[in-house]
Amino acid sequence: MNENEVKYFIESALLASDQPLKLDKIESLFEEHLKPERTIVRKCIKLLQDEYEPRNIELIEVASGYRIQVTPEISKRLDKLWEWRSPRYSRALFETLVLIAYRQPITRGEIEQVRGVSVSSNIVKSLMERDWIYITGQRDVPGRPEMFGTTKIFLDYFGLKKINDLPPLADLSDWEAIKIKLDLPEVIMQDTIDKREVNPLLKNNNSPDIDLDNSVKDEDLESAKIISETDFDDIVEKTEIEDLSEEVINTTETNDQ
């Protein structure tokens, strides 16, 4: 196979694959007697990268191997091609993810110490369900808390080959810088004020307001005073005595008969 044939074969393989391909996998796709040297494979990949550069396509190497994709800029403009919509996540989730990515391995308590608020169990669950994080082990301290780290799927999703390829950040509290450098999707901004929802039964209540001052009558106050001053133990004892007396009288009358 000449160089162009090798290049086009690699291009076809990358386009046909539904996941990134490592060099070993690419080489294994060639027939044994046509298999090129690894240097030729690398050269062809570089040629493809150069050809794609002026276009809206790129060939990049991520943690799981090489893949061909449209550029992030054009991807946003092509959203209408896909019926599905990427899920929206809260800012708290991405702040937690960023802390795990930059300071891994890190425990939940250490994340809470940096953010100043508790980490919701739903956030950790969501990140693990997406296979963006995993439990790397347990910290050798009292309680042995679990430590979290990022996965290859996380690196693939953000177009990174290794964790050291993360952009340097001087201040993890600079959310806008994090969002731009990692090209994070739009997030749900959470209200700082907890707004209580009105009971639906009361939303359309057009009844006039009750004037509590005028609705309290003198007899009501007198009844309340009597109740508050009553010793309920005395009432119970008195009732029991009256019931017992009535039972004795009834028994006596029966015996007389």
Q: For residues 56 and 40, is the Cβ–Cβ distance under 8 A? A: no
Where exactly are the structural domains of the chain?
Answer: 3-73, 89-188
Res 235 pLDDT > 70: no
- Residue 95 — very low, low, confident or very high, per pLDDT cuts 50/70/90? confident
CATH 1.10.10.10 is right for the domain spanning 89-188: yes
- The pLDDT assigned to 174 comes to 57
Q: What is the mean pLDDT of residues 231-253?
A: 51
- Residue 200 — very low, low, confident or very high, per pLDDT cuts 50/70/90? very low
CATH 1.10.10.10 is right for the domain spanning 3-73: yes
Instruction: Tell me the pLDDT tens digit for each residue of 128-179.
Output: 999 999 999 999 888 899 999 999 999 998 888 888 888 776 555 555 655 5
Q: What is the mean pLDDT of residues 89-113?
A: 90
- The pLDDT assigned to 50 comes to 93
The gap from C-alpha 155 to its chain's centroid, in whole angstroms, comes to 18
> pTM for the full model?
0.59
Distance CA 60, CA 161 (A): 9
- The pLDDT assigned to 198 comes to 43
> What are the backbone angles phi and psi of residue 191, rounded to the nearest 5°?
-65, 140
- The pLDDT assigned to 44 comes to 94
Instruction: Tell me the pLDDT tens digit for each residue of 52-85.
Output: 989 989 999 999 999 999 888 888 788 778 766 6
- The pLDDT assigned to 86 comes to 63
Q: Give the rounded percent of residues in the chain with a pLDDT score beyond 90.
A: 37
Which is nearest to 182 in space by CA: 195, 204, 167, 169?
A: 167
| Mean pLDDT for the chain overall | 76
Dihedral angle of Cα 24, 26, 27, 28, to the nearest 10 degrees: 80
Residues 6 or more apart in contact with residue 120 via CB below 8 angstroms: 92
The gap from C-alpha 171 to its chain's centroid, in whole angstroms, comes to 23
- The pLDDT assigned to 87 comes to 67
